[in-house]
């Protein structure tokens, strides 16, 4: 049967569609297998994954195929069957096919690390190509993978070559081609206007929702969501009402508001114990989930050094990280604010001179430092900390001849600690106390570290956890010989957990992190199992030191907070969670609100319940006011509500 001219010219487009759907479906099947028991053998789940997935694949193809559509439109009839035009068409088709295979391979590695398809993390990483590409090169056999992709692309292209090139005798004129292109444009515009990325979210199982999407589509949807404005996309109330409702949530027995201005949250904190100007070393360990430690119930022996500290430390058993990225942990530990949607404050413009933990220490004559084992340009860390009261030292300040091992993310933890010990000696010799926030890197893919430290193989997560534990033990062994050790408090926690994905949209157990406060002879050992948020670490620490100060923190000193008022904040770049007692309120874009029973112990479903208006209001007031205060310059050190120039909406 003879093909009509129109279908002959556009036969390459049909072939590309077939390849796109085949590769997308195969990717979905492979990732479904990787999800394992996370997606039970349920026909309804499979229907969601593949039927909804097909819809997103078709729409994504409309965008993806634009280079080919434009080429088929632009090639004049008289050139169409010529050799140059055919070579151009062949090259275009090969490149598009290569991109599809490359994306499929990338999706596998991303799923392996984050248990999701492309999201905001993937978008964020594009900014830091040096670290990301270096991490990939150190973690995977890149030349072999690229060679394999090249061979696979070429072989697939060769097998389909008869369909790749259009047949002879094309007589589609410019008007006909223009009609096709305009129709393609109309579908693209309508798809962008009418379809939302969250249409894939039809299941209570987040793995199913992720698999139902398309990685390319989700990547660009995440890019559009990077700058989510709380007031525009999330449930809100009038600004003054939100701040009025926030006040009782922030009020504690040790706090007195300094102003009647409803937008001014500044409280005067009165210490409940004598002040002690002790040195403070705050270590946020990369990806140290609580589940790795025997202190928190692990059956493995990955953290013997930290577990030995437990008997002599103040240990907090019910602590939750605010997010799934390092910048979220740094934001919580330095600013003590709930996570706002989109980018972390650490990476946003106009984040200078904010009220921070360093602000409090510096006002008492401390030298505050941020010490990082990598290059602090990554994630804007150096710029943020240097403009918010910290002296910054990173990998560039570590002599090369002192480095035992390094990868793209940074030097081995022990080498970072060597730099830190030198800094502590220097500041102590000047007669000043020090506050140091140390951010480690070793517990990160490619999981490499100096040989001979632990009897475990390189390149594995458990091995990296064991090494980072060894390095902390080594730091403390060396520190005990220092003259400043007896007057120093070591605060050891994590920036976030090792994994972020799960069956639930906000899998609560994926936010559980450890906390040891170790200061022999200075802070009494105890176990505290009251729920607390990562943002509560700064005020709790200052309370233990007996500091009285004016606070703009959202966090609370756990030892002055009345029983029953404990809460925690967990979130990703879109979902904002408010955890209180046995309920989790989830605020989402399009002003969505859901309340679930959180899963604290394992990866399982979090059943929905009828939202409690009181909990929803509390969640809104925390998140709405935090976003408002940053956007309107009210987080600056010394700012006082409307005096900072903000105008409250009615």
Which pLDDT value is given to residue 643? 38
pLDDT band at 163 (very low <50, low <70, confident <90, very high): confident
Neighbouring C-beta atoms of residue 174, cutoff 10 Å: 11
Q: Which of 46-60, 200-214, 420-434 has the highest mean pLDDT?
A: 420-434
pLDDT band at 226 (very low <50, low <70, confident <90, very high): low
- Tens digits of per-residue pLDDT, 81-133? 677 878 888 899 999 999 999 999 989 888 887 778 887 666 666 656 666 67
Give the DSSP per-residue string, 522-565.
TS--EEE-S-EEGGGHHHHHHHHTT--EEE--S---TTTSPTT-
The widest CA-to-CA distance across the chain, in whole angstroms, is 93
Nearest to 217 by CA among 233, 195, 234: 195
Which pLDDT value is given to residue 502? 87
Instruction: Provide mean pLDDT across the span 507-524.
Output: 97
Which pLDDT value is given to residue 137? 75
Which pLDDT value is given to residue 641? 53
Which pLDDT value is given to residue 118? 80
Which pLDDT value is given to residue 525? 98
Provide, rounded to the nearest whole percent, the portion of the chain with pLDDT above 90: 70
Nearest to 615 by CA among 241, 243, 230, 249: 249
The SS3 of residue 281 is strand
Residue with tokens 């060769």: 158
**What is the rounded CA–CA span in Å between residue 103 and residue 101?**
5
* Own/partner long-range contacts of 348-355 (Cβ < 8 Å, ≥24 apart): 348/630, 350/633, 351/384, 351/387, 351/388, 351/630, 352/387, 352/388, 353/387, 353/388, 353/636, 353/637, 354/388, 354/635, 354/636, 354/637, 355/552, 355/553, 355/635, 355/636, 355/637, 355/638, 355/639
pLDDT band at 304 (very low <50, low <70, confident <90, very high): very high
Instruction: Provide mean pLDDT across the span 496-518.
Output: 93
- Tens digits of per-residue pLDDT, 555-600? 999 999 999 999 999 998 889 999 998 999 999 988 999 999 999 9
Write the CA distances from 436 to 282, 286, 344, 367, 391, integer angstroms.
Answer: 6, 16, 21, 8, 9
pLDDT band at 65 (very low <50, low <70, confident <90, very high): very high
246 pLDDT exceeds 60?
yes
Instruction: Provide mean pLDDT across the span 491-516.
Output: 94
Which pLDDT value is given to residue 126? 62
165 pLDDT exceeds 80?
no
Residue with tokens 């119930």: 297
199 pLDDT exceeds 90?
no
Which pLDDT value is given to residue 342? 82
Which pLDDT value is given to residue 75? 80
Which pLDDT value is given to residue 177? 84
Neighbouring C-beta atoms of residue 587, cutoff 10 Å: 26
**What is the rounded CA–CA span in Å between residue 295 and residue 273?**
28
Neighbouring C-beta atoms of residue 345, cutoff 10 Å: 25
pLDDT band at 644 (very low <50, low <70, confident <90, very high): very low
Which pLDDT value is given to residue 639? 65
Which pLDDT value is given to residue 5? 43
Q: How many CA atoms lie within 13 A of 303 on its CB side?
A: 26
290 pLDDT exceeds 90?
yes
Which pLDDT value is given to residue 87? 85
Q: Which helix (H) or strand (E) holds 472?
A: helix 461-479
The SS3 of residue 330 is helix
Which pLDDT value is given to residue 633? 95
First to last CA, the chain: 70
DSSP 512: E
Which pLDDT value is given to residue 645? 37
Mean pLDDT over the full length of the chain: 90
7 pLDDT exceeds 80?
no
Domains, in order of start, for the chain: 5-224 (no CATH), 281-569 (3.40.720.10)
461 near 490, Cβ under 8 Å?
no
Residue with tokens 């980072």: 468
Q: Which helix (H) or strand (E) holds 488?
A: strand 488-494
pLDDT band at 646 (very low <50, low <70, confident <90, very high): very low
Question: Which two structure tokens, joined as six digits, stand for 349?
Answer: 């413009």
Which pLDDT value is given to residue 225? 64
- Tens digits of per-residue pLDDT, 31-56? 999 888 888 888 888 899 999 999 99
């Amino acid at each position: 049967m003879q093909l009509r001219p129109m279908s002959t010219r556009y036969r390459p487009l049909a072939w590309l569609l077939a390849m796109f759907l085949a590769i997308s479906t195969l990717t979905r099947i492979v990732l479904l297998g990787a999800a394992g028991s996370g997606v039970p053998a349920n026909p309804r789940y499979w229907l969601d994954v593949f039927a909804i997935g097909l819809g997103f694949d078709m729409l994504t193809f409309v965008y993806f195929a634009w280079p080919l559509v434009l080429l088929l439109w632009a090639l004049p009839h008289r050139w169409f069957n010529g050799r140059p035009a055919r070579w151009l068409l062949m090259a275009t088709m090969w490149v598009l096919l290569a991109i599809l295979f490359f994306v499929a391979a990338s999706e596998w590695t991303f799923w392996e690390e984050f248990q999701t398809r492309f999201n905001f993390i993937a978008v964020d990483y594009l900014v830091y190509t040096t670290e990301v590409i270096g991490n990939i090169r150190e973690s995977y056999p890149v030349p072999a993978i690229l060679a394999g992709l090249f061979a696979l692309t070429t072989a697939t292209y060769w097998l389909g070559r008869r369909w790749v090139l259009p047949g002879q005798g094309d007589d589609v004129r410019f008007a006909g081609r223009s009609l096709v292109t305009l129709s393609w444009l109309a579908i693209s515009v309508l798809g962008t206007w009418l379809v939302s990325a969250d249409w894939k979210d039809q299941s209570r199982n987040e793995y199913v929702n992720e698999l139902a999407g398309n990685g390319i589509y989700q990547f660009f949807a995440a890019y559009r969501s990077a700058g989510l404005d709380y007031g525009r996309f999330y449930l809100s109330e009038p600004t003054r009402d939100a701040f009025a409702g926030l006040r009782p949530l922030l009020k504690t027995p040790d706090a007195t508001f300094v102003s009647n201005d409803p937008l001014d949250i500044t409280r005067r904190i009165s210490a409940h114990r004598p002040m002690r100007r002790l040195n403070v070393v705050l270590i946020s360990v990369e990806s140290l989930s609580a589940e790795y430690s025997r202190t928190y119930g692990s059956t493995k022996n990955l953290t013997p050094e930290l577990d030995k500290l437990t008997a002599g430390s103040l240990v907090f058993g019910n602590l939750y990280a605010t997010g799934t990225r390092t910048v979220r942990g740094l934001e919580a530990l330095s600013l003590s604010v709930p996570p706002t949607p989109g980018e972390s404050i650490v990476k946003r413009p106009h984040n200078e001179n904010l009220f921070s933990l360093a602000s409090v220490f510096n006002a008492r004559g401390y030298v505050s430092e941020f010490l990082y084992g990598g290059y602090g340009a990554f994630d804007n860390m150096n710029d943020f900390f240097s403009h918010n009261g910290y002296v910054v030292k990173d990998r560039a300040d570590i002599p090369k001849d002192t480095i035992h091992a390094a990868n793209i993310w940074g030097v081995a933890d022990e080498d970072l600690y060597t730099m830190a010990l030198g800094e502590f000696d220097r500041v102590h010799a000047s007669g000043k106390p020090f506050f140091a926030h140390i951010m480690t890197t070793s517990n990160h893919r490619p999981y490499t570290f100096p040989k001979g430290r632990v009897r475990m193989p390189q390149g594995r997560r458990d091995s990296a956890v064991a090494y980072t534990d060894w390095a902390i033990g080594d730091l403390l062994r060396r520190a005990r010989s220092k003259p400043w050790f007896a007057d120093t408090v070591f605060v050891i926690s994590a920036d976030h957990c090792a994994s972020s994905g799960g069956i639930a949209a906000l899998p609560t157990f994926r936010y559980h992190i450890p906390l040891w406060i170790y200061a022999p002879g200075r802070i009494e050992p105890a176990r505290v199992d009251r729920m607390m948020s990562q943002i509560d670490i700064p005020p709790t620490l200052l309370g233990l030191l007996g500091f009285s100060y004016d606070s703009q923190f959202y966090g609370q000193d756990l030892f002055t907070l009345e029983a029953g008022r404990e809460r925690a904040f967990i979130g990703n770049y879109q979902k904002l969670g408010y955890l209180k007692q046995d309920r989790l309120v989830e605020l989402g874009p399009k002003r969505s609100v859901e309340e679930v029973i959180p899963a604290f112990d394992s990866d399982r479903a979090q059943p929905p319940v009828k939202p409690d208006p009181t909990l929803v209001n509390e969640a809104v007031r925390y998140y709405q006011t935090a976003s408002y205060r940053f956007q309107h310059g009210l987080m600056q050190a010394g700012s006082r509500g409307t005096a900072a120039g903000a105008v409250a909406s009615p």
